[in-house]
Amino acid sequence: MTTRFSGKVVLITGGAGAIARTTAQAFAAEGATVVLAGRDPARLADAAKHIQAEGGRADWVTADVTSPEDSARMVDTTVQRHGGLHAAFNNAGILGDFAPLADLDPASWSAVLDVNLTGVFLSMKYEIAHMKEHGGGAIVNMASNIGAHRRLAGLGAYATSKAAVSALSKAAAREYAAHGIRVNAISPGASDTAMTYRPGETTADRDARIAPEIPLGRVGDPAEIAAAVLWLACAESAFVAGHDLVIDGGATA
């Protein structure tokens, strides 16, 4: 077991999802105390329990990242319970409705932008405020190869939100690098998560639909996404700031 994050406290939003859970397990396996944040207490508790069963340190806090009050409390609770905040993975996100823009319900547009973009802004706002006063830290934001690097018809709101996350991450990196805070983003492509399935699809159906579009010929494994997050959060990437790391098997190449 390596200990790149021994003594570190890591906050992960959208904490009950597949990528979040896998990333949390990876951080915990390398010595971090992981705090999972999200809206579903049962799923958060289950994710934390699995990490603890493997010998890791994990906690959870309910929070809606679209709420300034919840976002502030999420960070404050993490610090109060565990003594600090050294890294954050702002991962909370939704896909929204699949529809051409002219047919898209404005409420769906607003929901996607609220979670995917405003949620990242609010999470960073309070994470940065703590890190700025306590020696710095590392933040990784969840963008996407859709929006930040390519487009897909029917996902205009999602693409817009993720392109904005990429830009926001770079803006924050420029503003806070001098304070020892490194902000980066990741842009995964299709990965083995619930979001990649269409209604009624089996895994074989999903893979047959998506794999031909990916030069490496398969969807990504959440563990591969987690490895990138850990690298961007650790000292090995100390000279990396304002970067959006594409992890999509060559799909945007």
Catalytic residues: 158
Query: How far is Cα 244 from Cα 17, in angstroms, rounded to an integer?
Result: 21
Q: Which residue pairs from 168-176 have beta carbons closer than 8 angstroms and sit at least 24 positions apart in sequence?
A: 168/117, 168/120, 168/121, 168/124, 168/141, 169/120, 169/139, 169/141, 169/143, 169/242, 169/244, 170/242, 170/244, 172/124, 172/128, 172/139, 173/241, 173/242, 173/243, 174/242, 176/128, 176/131, 176/132
Q: Say if residues 145 and 219 touch (Cβ distance below 8 Å).
A: no
The total of other beta-carbon atoms located within 10 Å of residue 111's CB is 16
What residues are paired with 62 via a beta bridge? 38
Residues listed for the chain = 253
